[in-house]
Structures are given as C-alpha cells and as structure tokens.
Structure 1
Amino acid sequence: MAVTFTDLYTEAGLKSLEAYLSGKTYISGDQLTKDDIKVYAAVSEKPGSSFPNVGRWYDSVSSHLAKSFPGKAVGVSVSNQAAPAAAAPAAAPKAAAEDDDDLDLFGDETEDDKKAAEEIQAAKKTTTKKKESGKSSVLLDVKPWDDETDMKKLEEAVRSIEMEGLFWGASKLVAVGYGIKKLQIMLTIVDDLVSVDTLIEERLTVPPCDEWIQSCDIVAFNKI
C-alpha cells in the first residue's frame, strides 16, 4: 500500500517523515521505489541535523537519481538560491556497463524514468511557490453616492464579490457628514491571487456594484 506524507515543507511534516524512516533505508524498506521519488519531490531541500533519518534518506535518493539521470541537476532553486545539485558520477569503464542495469529504478520503461525526473522538478517548484505565497490584511473605505443610498444593499453588493484568495471580514458604518455614511470593511487577500487595485477598478466600481458605490479607497494595507 502506498505511503503518503503531507506538508513536508514544514517542521511538523518533516517530523512525521523522520519518525517513519527510523530503522528504514527507504520508504518501502530496503529498496528504492516510486514512493521514495514522490516523497523526495515534496521535500524542498535537505533538512538540517535535527532530522538525521530524513537527511540520510535524502542523500541516498539524490545519489540514485544522479546515477539514473546523469547530466541532470537534481537540486532545485529555493527562495532565489540554487540548492546544490547532486553530482553526476564519473564515467564508468565499458567493462562495467552491464552493471548499469542495476540502477534502473522502475524496469525498462525509459519514458517513465524521464517522466519521474520531470515530476520531481515540477513538484519542487510547486512546493516552493506554496512556501513563498503570502497574505495581506486590507482596510477599505467604500463610499456611497449620497445620503439616500441604501447602505445595507451597498454592503451586500461588496460581499457578493467572490474571488479565489479573497476573504471579507468585519465592517462598520462611519459618518462622513451631512447625513452621509461610508462603509469601512476589512478583507484578507492571498497576494499571488488577488490585486486590490483590480478588485476596486474591475469589480467594485463597475456594474452592478456602481449602483450603490461611488468610490473606494485603501485606508491600510499590511502584510500578514
């Protein structure tokens, strides 16, 4: 049965892998399998000395991959710094060519081997992106057209906007003067998914929302 691990870019995830690898050479025992490749792809870089079992396993998988895919860097770029690639082995004498068959991890399916190597790179890039994606907290002023604007419908129009990475929070009405009130509302955004300027210009101040909303201003913008 396949073994799965999650959040291997976090300390908690690495602790679960560290415990699992205690007394084991590889994920499924004493031989390298596809399970090792999948888990290896989810570990963004070799962990520190706090995880000796994971570090030993990581080095072993890196070495096997370097031998199986000579000339291909196994390391990846994390936080704009390149992690060291596993060194490709020196060219073996022709007499040892027959031993190369022992390095075939998944049988004779060469295309599958290439695909596995590509999946490693793609998975590591995805993991890195997840680590780098941040959030921001925004305080927004939403102004009505006049004192006759239905502020309840105005707020409903604002909250009706749904986008991936957008989360509406608490709100209150603040007096502006001459009987006019503005809506002050909190929102949280995932920086890689939502632009506040785009939200205002393309969603809040265009039909149908512009029936109630005259303009919007960013009062505060803080990284979380």
Structure 2
Amino acid sequence: MAVSFSDLSSAAGLKKLDEYLLTRSYITGYQASKDDLTVYAAIAKPPSSDYVNVSRWFNHIDALLRISGVSGEGSGVTIEGSAPVRDAIATPPATDTKAVAADDDDDDVDLFGEETEEEKKASEERAAAAKAAGKKKVVGKSSIVLDIKPWDDETDMKVLEEKVRSVQMEGLLWGASKLVPVGYGIKKLQIMITIVDDLVSVDSLIEDYLTAEPINEYVQSVDIVAFNKI
C-alpha cells in the first residue's frame, strides 16, 4: 500500500516521518527501494539528530547509495510538493564525460526557484554519491537481527541501547529496534544491523565489542536471531 507524507522541509513533516520510522528500517517493505529514494530526495539537508529515527534512516540510505545503489521497486510513496524519484537515482547510469561537462555548465540554472547555499551543497553531495555508487562494484552485505539480553530487570534498557549503538565502525549500520519481554519483568533488546561482509565480522562485533568492557556491565549475552545476505 502506498504511503504519503507532507512537507518534509518543515518540522511537522519531519516529526511525522520520525514517528513513522520508529518501528521501520525502510519506508516500505524490508529492503531499500525507490520509495526510500523518493523520501531521501525530498529532504533538503541531513536531518537534525533531534529526529533520531529519520537521521538513522537517512544515513543508512546515503551509505547504500555510496556502496551499491538501490534497486528495489517499493510499494509507492507520495510527498506533498515533490515529484517522483527518477530511475536514474535508484540505479545510477555509467558516467558520460560529455554529459557531465554539460551538467556542470547548468549548475547555476535555477529550475525550481531560488536555491539556498545549503540546499545546493546537499544536492551536489547527493549527485556525487549517486555517481560514485554507479562506478563502484557491488559488495556483499548482510542483514542481521540480534537479541541482546541484560543481566536483570534492574538494567536500564535505554542506557543499554545507547551503549550498543555507540559502537561505530566502517561497514556497520544500526537499524530499527524494540524491547521484547523475556519473563519475570526482564526485557531483551532486539535490534537490526546491516554489515558490509568484507569490512565487519559479526562474531568479532559481538565478542570484541558488545560483550566486552565496558558494555558487558549492561549486556549478559548476544544471540544472532536472523542472518540474511542482501
């Protein structure tokens, strides 16, 4: 079913999108698609960290564009005041030198009204990312769901998740999460990650980071619930 959003240049529009992405990794379905690109293109600049879910999703889609592009068709999404994303963004074509030169000559032409310096810079960065995605070879990636269990019912699960998400490395992207009751008042954190296989070992991530100091003060164990190649 197609979804729709209002003006994503406004605080109200971003707040609605942030609430929508609270329990989702992508705009529609379980993989990145043209629906994600439509919304991505409608956001003039990287969202503030105040919009936690939008910021997480935006950085994920931006990284996918840099690595291998996005080919999923999606279910359809509309945004007030925005045109549908073009296929060329989802699957960037091979670079044509003459076409690039012509594009450079047209950089100063304003087709849709006056553009701010921030918007212009953001547009240039996205175009560069799309072109780079078209040049890079496809690399192996995996989508993984982890079960992270605390020591007891007194563990602050909000702090636990903050500690987990603080682990940052090249090729690792944190996704959606939720708390799942285990019993006796204890809840576990179930969280999605996407990894670039050549850069991140999930076993090393668990042993060397998620169950090592200082996070092991909060985490008792980490189990792999689902492991799928993308």
Structure showing greater Rg: 1
The TM-score range, normalised by the shorter chain, is 0.3 to 0.5
TM-score, L = length of structure 2: 0.43
Normalising to structure 1: TM-score of the pair? 0.44
